Each structure stands twice: as C-alpha cells, then as structure tokens.
Structure 1
Amino acid sequence: MPSLPDNQFAQKSPASSTPGEILRALAAQAAHLSVAQIDAFAARLANALFAASEQHADPKQANLSFNAAQLLKNNAYAFYYLASSGIEAAFRKEVQVLQQGVKADGVPQDVALTLVSYEEMDKKLAMGRASRSLELASAEQLAALNMRLAALMDYDSVGIQQNPFRPEVVLKVIIAAWTEFNPDQESHHLVLPLLRADILFDLAPILQALNQTLVERGILPELHESYRVKKMDSAAQAKKDEPVKAELDQKLKNYFSAAQAQTQAAPAANFAVPPINAGSANLLDSLQNDLARAMQQGGFAPAGEAAAFAPSAAAETQLFNYLADLQKGMAIRQLVAGAQGVMRLSQLKEQMPELATSGVERNTLDLLSKIFDTVFRNQTIPNEIKELIGVLQIPVLKAALIDKDFFFKEAHPARRLIDLLAKHSVAWDQKKGQEDPLYQTLQRNVNRVQQEFDHKLELFDEVASDIENFVEKEEAAAAAVLQEPIVRALRKEKVKQANLAANSEVAMRVGTGEVVAFVETFLEDRWVKVLTLAYTVKEEKPQAVQDAIRTMDDLIWSVKPKITVQQRQELINRLPSILVTLNKWLNVIKWDDADRLQFFAELAECHASIVRAPLDISPERQLEIAVEVAQKAAERRLEKRAQAEEQQGPEPEVDEFTEIVANLERGIWLQFTKKTGESGKVKLAWVSPMRSLYIFTGTQKEKSFSVSAEELEQTFRENRAQVLVLDKLVDRALMEALDEPAAEQETVAIPEIAEN
C-alpha cells in the first residue's frame, strides 16, 4: 500500500527518467491517491446497500443488501486491504501492457459477447455502462492524459482502452475485491449497479495529479488550455456553485438594468458637471457623447454582450479622470504615511456625487462601495490587511469602470487580487508584524498597483501571480518541515488500522461461539497482537497476514471434537507443525511469561482428551452431539454479543460535526481553542489516508500538532473550533450588497486620510 506524499512523484527531471520509470511512478502515484479514498468509498457503498435494502420489493434481495451492508460496515478494513492491494497490482500490470505497445482493441464487443453466457454478457454490459459514465464525468482529464501518455511513449495515439488509469481498471478491482471479501455468492451482483460517480472514487483529482506530474516532467506542458491541470479546479464544486452563480448573475443584471433605465430617463441638465482640472473646457460635450454612445449600445450588459462603456469611453469620463488624480494624490500620501490613513470608498463617494454622470457609473460606484464595506466588516481579516485592501479601492473602481466583467467573472484579475489578499491574510504572522515576508509581499504588490495602474488590467494579473508564486514557495517549504510529523502520523494510523483489522479477524471467529473458552481468551489477548504486527508489516512481507490467519484457523480446528479415526489421525499428523508455527509467532511478540506455559498445558490436555475420547459412537449419537454443540455455540454467541453491546454501549450517532470533520480539506483555516485554553488560527496542513488523523500548523509554520478525527469532532461540538470562510470573498460581498436595502450602511471603523 503506497504511503508516500504526492509531490514525490515529480522530483526527478525528465532527462534522468526513462518512459518506463515515469510510468511506474505514475502507477505508484495513482495507487496512492486511489487508496486514500477507499475508506470513504466503503462507507458510501455501505450506506447505498442499506438504502437498497429498504427500497427492494423482493424480501430476499432486501435481506441480501442489508447483510452485505452490515458485513462491509463491520469489516471495512478487511475490504480496504483487498481493494488497496488490488488497485496497486492492477495499475502496475496496466502500465506494463502500455509499455509493450499500443494494440488495437481485440475482438469487437458484439462478437466477444457471443462467446460467453448471458449472465456474463449482462455483467460486461453493466461494466461498460458504469465505465462510460465515469469516463464522461472526467472526459477532459482523460483526454489530456491520453495525449500526454502518447507523447511520453512516442506513440501515434493512446485511446481510453489503452490508458492504464481508465475508470474500468478501478471498477474491475472493486468487483474482484468485493467477490473475495463477501463469501455469499448471491450478494456478488449487488455492487456493480452501485458503482456510480457519486459513490465511487472522485477520479478527477487523481487524473489531474497524473497530468500535473507529466507537465512537471516536461510532457506536453503547452497542451490546449481546456486540458490544463488547474490545482483548484473541481468539476463537482463548479456544478455545486452553478445555482448560486446563476442567482448572482441575475441580481447583477437586474441591478444594472435599473442603472441603464436611470441613465435613459435622466435629463441632460443632470450631467452638467464643473471640471475638476484646468484645461478640460470641452469635458461636458465629451461626456455627453460617451453617454449617447452607451445608450445606443443598449446600456450595460454582462460579460460577452455589449457593454455600456467601452474601455476607451470609460477612461475618458470626468469620473475616471477625477479618480486618476485622486489615485496619484493618495500615492503621494502613501509614500509618507504607508498604508495607514486609508479612507473608505463610501466616504470618498460623498465628495464626488456629481461626477458619476450615468446610472451605470453611479451604480458601479455604489455597488463597489458596498463590497468594500462588507470586506471591512469581516472580523477574520486583520486590520492591517484591511488597510492594504483599502489602498486598492480607487484602482479597483477604475478597473470596474473599464471592464464590467469585474462583477460577473470570478477570475477577473482585479477581483482575484482582492480574494487573494483576504484568503492569505490569516496566514500572516502578526508577531513578526510588517517584517513577515508574506506581509511584505502583499504590501509590495498593493503599492505597485496603487502607483502604476492606469488602464492596463494585466497589472492586476502580474501582482496576483507574484503573490501566488510566493505562497506556493512558502507551502513547499512548510511541506518539507511536515515530513517528520507526517511519517509519525502514518505509522500511528497504520498500527491503529492494523489493530482494527486484527480484532475484526478474531471477532469473526470467536463470535460463532464454537471456540473453547481458553482458546478464545488466548486469541483475544495474544493473537490480536500477532495479527496487528502481521498487518503492520504487510507491505514488506505480504505473506505474513495469511500465515498468521492460517495459524489461528489451524489452532481453532485443532480443539474441535474429532469423532472419526481419520480426523484424529489428521490431528496427530498436523499438530507438530501447528505448534511450531504457533510458538514462532509468540516468540515474535515476546510472550514469555508463565501464562504462556499455562496456555500450552491446557492446549495439550485438550488435544489429549480429543484423541482419547471413545470412538464407538453410533450415527444417531453423533447427530445428537452435533446438535448439542450447535445449540451451545448459539447460546454462547448470543451471550457474547450481549456482553459486547453492554461493554461498548450504543454506537455514537453521526451528527453534523462528524460530517464537518469528514469534509474538511487541506488548506482550510480554523479558529481553534485547545483544551489548555490556548487559542489561535490554524491551517489544516495534512489529512491521513484513512482520515483518522489531522495535522495543523499555525502562522508559525515550523510548529504543528496532530488531532484524531474523534477529538476534532468533539472540539467542534464544544464550539472550540470554527471554520474560517475566506475564499470567494468578493462573491459573498456581492451577494450581501445586492441583498441589502438601499438604506445607509453602518459606519466601519477604518482610519481616514488626514487632511492637509
């Protein structure tokens, strides 16, 4: 089972790696990312089986689904190991096939299906439908990966059927793992119909990561933009945001439609504005001409349609000229006072009410003022960062007047810059103050926009990219520091999950009630440790688990009654090797006290009683004995189940906080209070593959701490942890501003520019 960090797969340069080595690295990366999702997938599959059991009209099918769900829920880690080892082996095999050369798809499907039974035909068709559904959901990433694999191997092309990482490979592994995991053959058909995109793995980030690795190795980095790997891109998230985006677009259209109506209805006298600079005697005529052109174009329209002002027209209005002069004046003050003393746009607006000559200009100014006021009210953003954002008010207003896409496009460069300042503000180390490299980077880029921006929106793109590049370097440095705690956490989780698997294996056997009492105690107290060790070293010694389980099963078999000569002879023949293997494992866990001697003494006595028992038993008496044994086993099984339920108590209910923790993603920030009372903002830096451990860092990135999933859930329940929502700040500010009544907003405490 791979347990390496994602970024390790792209460390070698293209020159130092052969295509075969790169393919093997991709297989390891794909296996690592897939295995990390198995646990969550198993939980979704169990829930889907429970749901199917409630919906089935056929009682038999409902019972099969219910039992299958219970089996998966109670033995998830056994399924995890089967699926994880199968995925890794499948990817290795597929890349070997690709290395041997791209071949045409074999026999046509309709011919191939005539060679198999109808049952097998249905299975193949169902598999094909499931595969195509997943392929469509990740079509762009798969297409990009096909092209890059072809370039890597120097093939003319690589199709879906030759791609080693196609969804079909994962589907086949899951079906094979389920078949091996569930001994009830009648339940084998239940899983395939449930392997939908919403239940199976999220394949998109896996395919994106593989593409990114190839890009970093120089394989088709110039691929068409529609296939580029974007770290923050998520098709699922985009689909989820579609209704909100549509609602926001509609509100903006309504807002600026009202602005256009105001412009068309306003009398010409309203636009008679005194010039603010000498030498602008003809400004009124120019402004009225601009307005007429805007009205002929149909007023304001969203991105992709005719805009109310072309960039050249917006830059010629009196409001724009006033803003340009104001920006220069603020730049001079800023050189003297730094970022302090920034006045809010809503306050500046009061000094220039007559300059916004059209409804579109007035509404642009009003809406942007509300957006900045919403930003300034955000308690999560430090005041010093708010002051930096305040410096951007005039340049951003100019950008919005030039390009109305600012309100409609989340990726607009000026809007992107504000979002970046807000998002990364929480990472600022306030103890270092302005000496913190992050703060200096933000301040330097804000100052550049304030001093240089005139008409070119590309400047916003440049400074935003500079901030993103700095943050990426900081995160790479922080990731190196985290390697040691991550290794410790992986080791801890590995032992924990191995112990769960060991207990599950033992519980399945002693739960039947057929194991004699002293052997049952031995298995629960001692053999669980043996199995835990075997599962822990499974990657290095794959046969260890099978050997430990086989030894346990042999021990259980050896203490069952033997009522025929053949059975007793088999016991005598096998007993020496069973005892040797048993002692070998007990030596490994270093069980050397007197209890070990007592156990083997009881075991020898048990074996002797089995061999010496009378053989002259009639078939009728044998049947009676079998019934008695079965009855006692059933009674013992019920007794053990009652004891277990009494000891464990009711299972903890899944509440909203369980869901919150399960959905936390790397990079998110929390306001976190430890049990010691120490409080601060922390970043989720790493989540273990089984999502049982979470590692957090603070603004001082060299310090980290880990929290278990259970502890984190309890922290949320006790209101000692809250998610800090910092992404898409302008989006949320827009929604809030458009929902506000027209009444005057409350005053926000931001220092004003000192009067000269």
Structure 2
Amino acid sequence: MPPRAVSPRHAVLEEAIGIALREVRAGFATFCTALAARLLEPCQPPGDPRDRLRAASLLRDHATLLPLVLGALERALREELAQLAPQPRPSREADQPLALVPYEEMDQRVAFAAMARPFDAAHADALATLNARLARLLERHTLRVNPFRPEVFIAALHQAWAGFDGEEGSGTAVMALLQADCFLDLGGIYAAVDRALDGHGVLAGPVRRPWARQDIQAQAHDARREARLASQLREFFGQSGADGAPQGGLASTQTSGQPGGRGSGQTGGQTSGQASGLTGGAISGQAAALDPRLLEWLASMPPAQGANAVPLASLKRAAPRGMLSRADEGTIDLLGAVFETVSGDQAISPESRELLQLLQLPLLKAALADKEFFFQAEHPARTLLELLSRMGWERSLAGAERRDDRQFQAMRRSVDLAARDGDAATTAFAQAVRELEAALKVEEADAAAALAVPVASALKQEKTATARRAARDAVALRVGTGEVVAVVEAFLENKWTDVLTVAYSIDDDKPGAVRHATQAMDDLLWSVRPKLGAEERKALIAKLPGLLATLNRWLDVIKWQDADRLRFFAELADCHASIVRAPLDMPAERRLELSVQATQLAAERRLARAAQAPRTAGVARTAPEDELAGLARGTWFDFTEEGVSRKVKLAWISPLRSLYIFSSGTRQEAFSLPAQDLVQRLNAGTATVLQAEGVVVRALSRALAVNDADTDPAVAA
C-alpha cells in the first residue's frame, strides 16, 4: 500500500507516482509485443540468437512480468523522491557516513546512463517542463536530477527482468534493443504527470538564476505594485460609478519620451503584459452593453479624429452634454494615459507607434463596454495591444524600419480586423490576436529554416560533447579505484577516452559500439591484474591475441599512429610477461604482504586524486545548464564587447541546453555559445537579459500615482 500523504505536497507527489504507474500499465502489453517482434528480426546486433529467442518467448507472458516492473518502478520513484528531501547536515565531518559502492553497481549506473541519453534527447522539452514544475512544488530553484528521468525506467525494467528470468543472456538481449521507438511511452507518461501538476496549480514558469537575483526583487516589487494598482482601480471605478468623479482625479501622465520600464523586452517570448493580470479586479456591471447613443456618436467620428490625429482626451470635451457618465469619462482618461505611454515610448519603433494609434477608438469601445480591460491581461483587446507593442519593441531592437515587410503587414491586418464595428468587438479582437500569433509562427518557422545549418552543426557539437563526457565518466569510474597500473591508467585517460567518444557518437547508427569498446577496456584492466593461479594465466595467454587485435582496431579508428603507441604496447607486453612469469608457489605470508602493499598503494593514489579534484571540479558547483534553466527562445540580450553593444535574440536552445544560438534581428548573422560561456558573460555583466513590463500596467501605475514609494518598502523608508 502506498504511504498516506502527510502534506498536500506529498499528496501531489504520490499522485504523480500513481499516474506514472498507471500509464506504464496501460501501454505495457504494446511495448512487450513490439519488443518481442524486434527480438525475432533476423538483422540484430551480435549476440547469442538463443538468448533473443528465449527473451521473445518470455515476453509473451507479459502479465507476469508487469507486476515486477510496476513494483521495481514504484520503489525506484519513491527512492528518487526521497533523495530530494532535505537531509540533516552532520555536526562534524567525522559524523559523515562513509559507504563503498560496489564496482558492479557503479558500472551498471554508467551503463544505464549511457542507454538513457537518446531518451533524454528525445524528451528534452517534456523533461525540462516537468523538472521546472517539480522544482516549484519542492520550493527549489531547480532540480539537479529529475526523479522521472528515463534512466529510472530503464533501471526498473532491468531489475524486474532479473527477477523474472534468471538467465543473464536474455536480459542483455532485451536491454540492447531498448530504443526511443521501442520502449515504454515516456512521452505519454510525462504529459500525464505534467497535466496533473498543472491541475494542482504547480506552475512551470522560469526559475530565476543567481545572475538574475536582482530580478527576484523586481518580481516581488511588481507583485506589490500590481496589488496596489488593482486596489486603486477598484476604488477609482467604484467612486466613478456611484459617488461621482473620483477624488483627486488622475495623476499627471508624464510619459512622453520615457523608455520602456527597467529595460525593454521580455523573457520567454510571452506577451509583454503581465502574465497574471491584476487579480481581484472584477467590478459589478462589467461587459455591459454600451448606450446605443454613445455607440452611434462614436461611430460618427471621422477617422482622423477618432483614430489618429486627435487624442482621446479631446473626445471627452467634444462629447454632447450628458452623453458620458463619470465612469465613461474615467475610462477615457485611463485609456488616454495608456496611449500617451505608447506614443512616448521610444523603445517601440516609430512605424509601430503610428500603427498603434489606430487602435484608440476600437480599444475605447472595448474598454467602455468591459472594464475588465484594465484588470485582466488576458482580455482580447488588451492582449492585442500588448502583443503589438512587443512586436514594435522587437522591430526597434532588430533595426526593422520597412513598412512593406511581412511582419508589419500582419500587424496592419490585425489592426484593421480589430477596428471592425458591431456588437462582436471582443470576437474581432480575439480573431486579430489569433491571426497575429499565426503570422508569428510563420516567422518562427522561417527563422528556423534560416538557422538550419548552424543548428545542425550545434547538434553535432552537442552530441560529441555528450559522448566525450560519457567516455570520461566511464574511464574515471574504473581508474578512480587507484588499483590500475600507471601505464594502463594513462592510456585509458589519454587515448581510450577518445575511443569511447567515437563509440558513443556512432552507437545510434551502429548499435553495440559502446558495449564493444567498453568490454575491450574491461578486458584490458583484467589482463593487468595479478594472476595467482595457473588457470588464470592460461586464460590470460588465450585472450591476449584477441584483446591486442581489438585494441589495435579501435586505435586505428582514432588514428593514433605515432611512436607512443609502440611504446605503450611494449610496456603492456612487459606487464603481461611479469604477470605470467611470477612464481606460483609463493608462500601465503608473502601473498598477504604483497596484497597489503597493493592496497596501501591504491589508497595513496585515491587520496592523491581526491586532493586534486577540488581544484578542478570544485570551481563550479552548479551545472551551467541548470543556471540557465529559466531562459527560453525569443529572449533578447544585450551583448557588450569592447564597449560596443549589440542586441541579439536567443533563436535556438539545444535539446540538452548545452548550446545556445543567437541571431540578429535581420538574421544576417548567427553565432552559438556554450552554456558555460553564456553563464560567464551573464555573471560578468557583458551579457544582459532585456526585460520590460507591459505598457498598460506602466501607464495605469503612473496615471493612478502607484509609484515605487507606494510598493517598495526600501523606497518608502
């Protein structure tokens, strides 16, 4: 029985585990059928056909295997989630528990991690979203390890099969054929868990990184200001609708010439309006029908007066006496403040500002009919205004000034569509937003096509880097014991790492390459261990020709042909000769003495390696990919080099978030940066994320005198 939930958060995690198990149960029969068919195909990796035949036969009994898989997976998920819980810090260093992980277990972890890499790449976006949601749920900046990562499912299947069939060969045949198109439906599992977390209100918003600590304070300040602004708006409309004109009227809206907020821009390509809107802003009588006389009068306005030339303030003065209520006049004042902000925002391109002025009369009708325009960022009319403002801001950064380009024509069409008169004004705004977003998707598709060559190069670079990292991990796992002779240790670290890198790179096209290269490395390590019995030495002599041939074939692949190769094999031959020629009738006391000396020497080498580790690996405790987890495509950056500033857009992120491609607004140039370099630039201040707030919130805050002193305790003090 699953444990009882001890907190709401625990209940959500228990539900996520249950959903994962349910999805595995639903698709397990299909997976077993596909895997059995794959095992029976004639063209398969090298191996015993009898093992594949046995595994395919056993998979028919998937009803017996399923409970074992579900049990292993449930235990694994609970262990993974338990490791995310805060651990008490030992009071003294001596109190820290010491544990030795068996060599076989460490080797198995490396193997599972290697098998999971294609799955990690295939589900990178889903894993990133799920990681962000779980981090929010657990109140973390980010999670270094996702408890639902593919490696956990692979290990659970391996453990279940070991209990299902005692023959090791059948399990090896099954694990060798696990691929993205022949495995459990991880995409469906992640989607189901993500929907459940979303249903519980667990957001997947960007996680702030150490280089953006100032933005955390700005975010809290924005939340306080939004709450204050919502209160001011409720008071404003309440007084206007009941007791007459609001006391004190509107504050002076001196926005002309002001730049766009703390900077210009946004993160993640969202509309530049606030994501949540002004909560609690609902007022009585919203979405009410306009007075027909007012509609008729507004429809009679000449285009020049109602749209562009004459500001909204003049409409209030030109209205027939008694036509406008106090609330209508307040609405005109607020909307006029918004358009004064737009017209004075030099961060928006001039042609976009001119285009936005054409929305004055349509937006006035929408705001008069529905006061939620001022409270909710999701209001269609407000969404259109913010979206057009953002596009105008991006055009300014990109240096786009032409009025005949496709993007500007899409903006113009959306304005014309929103300007349609009639009772379906909200519908017209919503349709305008949809068409504009569709045009943006076309632009994104064109941008992706333009970046096809650098993206392909970046993918190849990331694949090579991932392969090298896996190769280094596999070698470090074996030489870290300190028991490997020096000549072999140097060979593995300097040359066999290159061999494993090639093997990991080609393993997708040539399955079994990693297994073959790893087995050769393990055979080499076995060959240089002491052989105290005659049978072991006979086995060594029998294996040496095949081992040397395998080593030479792989070394030919990496083109290692210099004199150092001959020197290595000469030293290896001396090592093997000393092992074979060692006396067999050695006294037990002498064997014990040599064993103690070898153990002491291995311990000294481990301590020497551990002493060097903090100087090399302790520089960055957090992976750069984790520090940049909050970034998304569409984010604009300001890069400064030698005093020269240039604005670029984050156009592409690699599946493993290790490479980032930036492009200029005109797409005439594109360059990539590794995650580590981007983090260094952000920390050094030579790269800055451009951010901004929506024009509506900014204008309303100034109009209603909601300033920093009202919301920021530091300023008020």
Q: Given the two structures, how large is their TM-score scaled by the length of structure 2? A: 0.64
| Identical-pair percentage | 37
Give the match for residue 518 of structure 1: 487
Distance in 1 separating the partners of 2:340 and 2:101? 57
Which consecutive residues of structure 2, in runs of 5 or more, have no partner in the other structure?
1-29, 35-75, 124-129, 138-146, 161-184, 209-218, 246-278, 710-717
1:440 and 2:409 correspond? yes
CA contact (8 A) 2:112 2:154 kept: no
**CA 1:381–1:176: 2 relative to 1, 3 Å:** farther
Cα distance change of structure 1 residues 64 and 663 upon mapping to structure 2, 3 Å threshold? farther
The equivalences for 1:553-568 within 5 A come to 553-568=522-537
Contact kept in structure 1, 2:112 and 2:151, CA below 8 Å: no
1:595, 1:210 → 2: CA distance? 54
Quick one: which amino acid aligns to residue 593 of structure 1?
A: D
State the alpha-carbon separation in 2 of the partners of residues 463 and 302 from structure 1.
27
8 A Cα contact 1:666 1:686, kept in partner? yes
- CA shift, 1:56, in A, is 9.3
Task: Identify the match of residue 310 of structure 1 among 283, 288, 291.
Answer: 288
1:467 alignment partner in structure 2: 436
| Cα deviation, residue 664, structure 1 | 0.5
Asked if 1:587 corresponds to 2:556, the answer is: yes
2:458 aligned partner: 489
Q: Residues 670 and 724 of structure 1 are in contact (CA less than 8 Å); yes or no, is this contact kept in structure 2? A: yes
1:344–1:390 Cα contact (<8 Å) kept = no
The code of the aligned residue for 1:522 comes to: F
What is the Cα deviation at residue 626 of structure 1?
Answer: 0.6
Query: In the alignment, what sits opposite 1:425?
Result: 392
- The residue aligned with 1:280 is none
Corresponding position of 2:336: 369
Alignment CA distance shift 1:463-1:47 (3 Å): same
CA drift of 1:742 comes to 13
Q: For residues 179 and 532 of structure 1, do their structure 2 counterparts lie closer, same or farther at Cα, with a shift above 3 Å needed?
A: farther
After TM superposition, give the deviation of residue 613 of structure 1 in Å.
Answer: 1.4
Alignment of 1:525-674 (within 5 A): 525-646=494-615, 648=616, 650-652=618-620, 654=622, 661-673=628-640
Map 1:737-748 → 2, pairs under 5 A = 740=706
> Quick check: 1:302–1:405 contact (8 Å CA) kept in 2?
no
State the secondary structure of the residue aligned to 1:569. helix
Query: 221, 237, 254: which one pairs with 1:259?
Result: 237
Alignment CA distance shift 1:586-1:258 (3 Å): closer
C-alpha spacing 1:410/1:511, structure 2 compared with 1 (3 Å): same
Which residue of 1 is the match for residue 678 of structure 2?
A: 712
- 1:53 is aligned to 2:53: no
CA contact (8 A) 2:316 2:329 kept: no
Partner of 2:67: none
| Shift in Å, 1:66 | 12
- 1:83 aligned partner: 116
Query: Closer, same or farther in 2 for the Cα pair 1:348/1:719, shift >3 Å?
Result: farther
Shift of 1:723: 2.5
CA contact (8 A) 1:53 1:64 kept: no
Paired amino acid for 1:566 = E
Instruction: Label 1:366 to 1:704 Cα distance change in 2 as closer, same or farther (>3 A).
Output: same
| Equivalent runs, 1:385-464 vs 2, <5 Å | 385-428=352-395, 430-447=399-416, 449-450=418-419, 456-464=425-433
Change (3 A) 1:602 1:399: same
Q: Distance in 2 between matches of 1:365 and 1:75?
A: 69
Question: Is contact 2:380–2:433 with CA below 8 Å preserved after alignment?
Answer: yes
Distance in 2 (alpha carbons) for counterparts of 1:653 and 1:671: 27
Deviations 1:690-727 (A, max 9, x none): 11101122222353221111121122223333323367
Q: Is the 8 A contact 2:115 2:151 kept in 1?
A: no
Q: Which residue of 1 aligns with 2:7?
A: none
Secondary structure of 1:740's aligned partner: coil
Structure 1 residues 623 and 311: alpha-carbon distance in aligned structure 2, compared to 1, 3 A threshold: same
Q: Deviations over 1:110-142 (max 9, x none)?
A: xxxxxxxxxxxxxxxxxxxx9xx99xx9xxxxx
Task: Measure, in 2, the Cα distance between the counterparts of 1:732 and 1:48.
Answer: 44
Q: Structure 1 pair 676/325, CA: closer, same or farther in 2 (3 Å)?
A: farther
* Distance in structure 2 (CA, Å) of the matches to 1:682 and 1:483: 18
Partner Cα distance (1:79, 1:554) in 2: 20
CA distance in 1, matches of 2:523, 2:617: 33
Q: Deviations over 1:406-425 (max 9, x none)?
A: 22333322112112202322
- Please say if residues 207 and 630 of structure 2, whose CA atoms lie closer than 8 Å, have aligned partners that are also in contact: no
Residue aligning to 2:262: none
Higher RCO (CA < 8 A, seq sep 6+): 2
Task: Compute the displacement of 1:738 (Å).
Answer: 5.1
Task: Tell me which residue corresponds to 1:207.
Answer: 191
Rounded to whole Å, the distance in 2 between the matches of 1:585 and 1:518 is 18
Secondary structure of 1:615's partner?
Answer: coil
Contact 2:283 2:371 in 1 (8 A): no
Preserved CA contact (<8 Å) 1:79 1:177: no
Q: 1:223 maps to what in 2?
A: none
The within-5 A match list for 1:693-708 is 693-701=659-667, 703-708=669-674
CA deviation digits over 1:425-446, x for unaligned, max 9?
2443535522322122213432
Q: Flag the 1:622–1:652 CA change in 2: closer, same or farther, 3 A.
A: same
Q: Deviations over 1:363-401 (max 9, x none)?
A: 322332333344455554223322322332232122100
Cα distance per residue 1:269-312 (max 9 Å; x no partner): xxxxxxxxxxxxxxxxxxxxxxxxxxxxxxxx988874167313
Helix, strand or coil for the counterpart of 1:521? helix
Q: Give the alignment of 1:39-188 within 5 angstroms.
A: 49=83, 52-54=86-88, 63=97, 80-84=113-117, 173=153, 176=156
Please state how far the C-alpha of 1:170 moved relative to its aligned partner. Answer: 5.8
Query: How big is each residue's C-alpha offset from its partner over 1:319-374, in whole Å with a ceiling of 9 and x where there is no partner?
Result: x666444453336x86xxxxxxx565467767779878434223322332333344
* Contact map agreement 2:341 2:695 (CA 8 A) in 1: no
Query: Aligned equivalents of 2:328 and 2:659: distance in 1?
Result: 52
Deviation at 1:169, TM superposition (A): 10
Aligned to 1:33: none
Q: What secondary structure, in the 3-state scheme, does the structure 2 residue paired with 1:385 have?
A: helix
One-letter amino acid matched to 1:667 = G
Q: Is the 8 A contact 2:328 2:368 kept in 1?
A: yes
Unaligned ranges ≥5, structure 1: 1-19, 25-41, 91-129, 138-166, 181-200, 212-225, 268-300, 335-341, 744-756
SS in 1 for 2:685: coil
Q: Judging changes above 3 Å, is the alpha-carbon distance between structure 1 residues 729 and 671 closer, same or farther for their aligned structure 2 residues?
A: farther
User: What is the distance in 2 between the residues matched to 1:633 and 1:462?
Assistant: 72
SS of residue in 1 equivalent to 2:646: strand
